[in-house]
Amino acid sequence: MIIRQKHIKGLSAAWLPFMDAASEGLPLGQLLRLSLFQVSVGMATVLLLGTLNRVMIVELSVPAMVVAAMIAIPVLVAPFRALLGHRSDTHRSAIGWKRIPYLWFGSLWQMGGLAIMPFALIVLGGDQTLGPAWAGEVLAALAFLMTGIGLHMTQTAGLALASDRATDETRPRVVALLYVMFLVGMGVSAVVVGWLLRDFDDLLLVRVVQGCGLATLVLNMIALWKQEKVAPMTKAERAEPRPAFRDAWADLMAGGTAGRLLAVVVIGTLAFTMQDVLLEPYGGEILGLSVSMTTLLTAVYAMGALAGFLVAGRWLARGLDPMRMAARGLLVGIAAFSAIIFAAPLHSIPLFYAGAGAIGFGAGLFAVSTLTAAMTLKTRGAGSGIALGAWGAAQATAAGLSIFFGGTIRDIVSHLATSGKLGSVLTDASLGYTFVYHLEIGLIFVTLIALGPLVRVTPLTETPKTDDRLRIVEFPT
């Protein structure tokens, strides 16, 4: 029995993915508690982009155009993440807290948006007896705006706090744990909320969404409790003027790499995520797959992303330049989209699934490498908040825009093709899809061009790191 316990203790640090994410300044217990803010963010993301999307269209009969506009509101708030990060970097308080106030007020915004959202959606669905006809649209937009502000404020300040408390060695794995908790929040929330709303009615909608708002506040309160040390500031320190955001932004860009890196993030994210709303329709309409078979695409994509995640950890542990790893992910993306394109004329379902998995693998490598590089971008005299905010803003904004562009371009090209306006040859129904996939390949080449100057030239005599342990390192938030 004693021998078994010894073996278990010896294996735990090697086999549990995040045992080595803890440090003296951030013990594992506090790290796991801090990560709960990502669970609340994942829950809000599922509500905004999944559950309420379906409820508004199906149960409440809200026009799809109005629904799309509501969902786009949190994306429009994303560019302000850099400003929020800068404000938390330079916050003045008597007790010295910088991140906790933004976590707290972000939680209030997020909870407040979810508290009024079900009533706004009911009015938006037409259940209204008093007030102007546009009240539903305005109230729903306000609810989505409040939730989006809270979501981005909470996530930016929480990631910055985790980055502050972690050491240089453990910081990548801390961010990895936070992203995994984000996925846990999304997965659990999707199952629970979907189960609770299986017998839909207006009162049940109010209870479920407001329950999520209460859960947001409870989780975030537990997460932020005693996470930042009290370091009283003198009156003179509090009276000092804050550095202007434009100065901090100029400082961030002064090195010449930050702007190019953000451009790489934007273009690369556009290249990899335009297909998000097209893969399942492509499989069903063009390849004739059933609903259950197209649903498996999400699992295949996720498994590919996880494989890319693990490979990235091994390569980074060996000292591979993150930008070279990003280039490898982009090259995998070219092969993946080529497989998706050829799956239709070849009528090859295995090729289609292989392409979907390869897209996830390439996107995983690309996301890990760009986040690794972004974490090294700090302004003089400030913290990591503005750098993490800038990366998050670039990634989230590009992801939102790419989904809109992908669906719109597909609809336009498909309409032109099927109506015969592109000629008698180009009339195939798959043309709209393949046009987007070719466009994504083109964007990948543009990303490779932008990426070139960022690649570090490593001398041939340099010895790489010898730590070959397989670690889950980083992933986007």
DSSP per residue, 294-306: HHHHHHHHHHHHH
Sole residue written with tokens 């706004």: 120
Q: Give every CB contact of residue 80 below 8 A, 6+ residues apart in sequence.
A: 152, 393
CA separation for the pair 90, 105 (Å, rounded): 16
Other beta carbons within 10 Å of 134: 8
What tens digit of pLDDT does each residue of 99-120 get?
888 888 889 999 999 998 888 8
pLDDT of residue 8: 45
pLDDT of residue 434: 84
Q: Give every CB contact of residue 133 below 8 A, 6+ residues apart in sequence.
A: none
Long-range CB pairs of 281-287, under 8 A, 24+ apart, other chains included: 281/433, 282/340, 282/344, 282/430, 282/433, 283/352, 285/429, 286/344, 286/429, 286/430, 286/433, 287/343, 287/344, 287/347, 287/349, 287/352
pLDDT of residue 459: 42
Q: For residue 419, give both structure tokens.
A: 């109506």
Give the burial class of 100: count Cβ atoms within 10 A of its Cβ; 0-12 exposed, 13-18 middle, 19 or more buried.
buried
CA separation for the pair 434, 390 (Å, rounded): 32
CA separation for the pair 334, 148 (Å, rounded): 33
pLDDT of residue 337: 92
Strand, helix or coil for residue 460: coil
Fold classified for 18-240: Growth Hormone; Chain: A; (1.20.1250)
CA separation for the pair 151, 75 (Å, rounded): 11
Other beta carbons within 10 Å of 331: 14
Residues of the chain with pLDDT under 50: 1-3, 8-16, 379-381, 458-477
Contact by Cβ (8 Å): 387, 377: yes
What tens digit of pLDDT does each residue of 203-227 get?
888 888 899 999 999 999 998 888 7
pLDDT of residue 447: 93
pLDDT of residue 244: 60
Other beta carbons within 10 Å of 425: 7
CA separation for the pair 214, 468 (Å, rounded): 44
Class of domain 243-477: mainly alpha
pLDDT of residue 468: 40
Q: For residue 282, give both structure tokens.
A: 């492509």
Q: Give every CB contact of residue 347 below 8 A, 6+ residues apart in sequence.
A: 287
pLDDT of residue 477: 43
CA separation for the pair 359, 205 (Å, rounded): 36
Nearest to 382 by CA among 23, 25, 82: 82
pLDDT of residue 14: 47
Side-chain-side CA neighbours of residue 120 (13 Å): 23
Longest CA–CA separation in the chain, Å:
78
Contact by Cβ (8 Å): 228, 98: yes
CA separation for the pair 210, 137 (Å, rounded): 19
Q: How far is CA 18 from the centre of its chain?
A: 20
Domain with CATH 1.20.1250.20 in the chain: 18-240, 243-477
pLDDT of residue 228: 75
Contact by Cβ (8 Å): 368, 473: yes
pTM: 0.69
CA separation for the pair 99, 91 (Å, rounded): 8
H/E stretch holding 107: helix 100-124
pLDDT of residue 332: 94
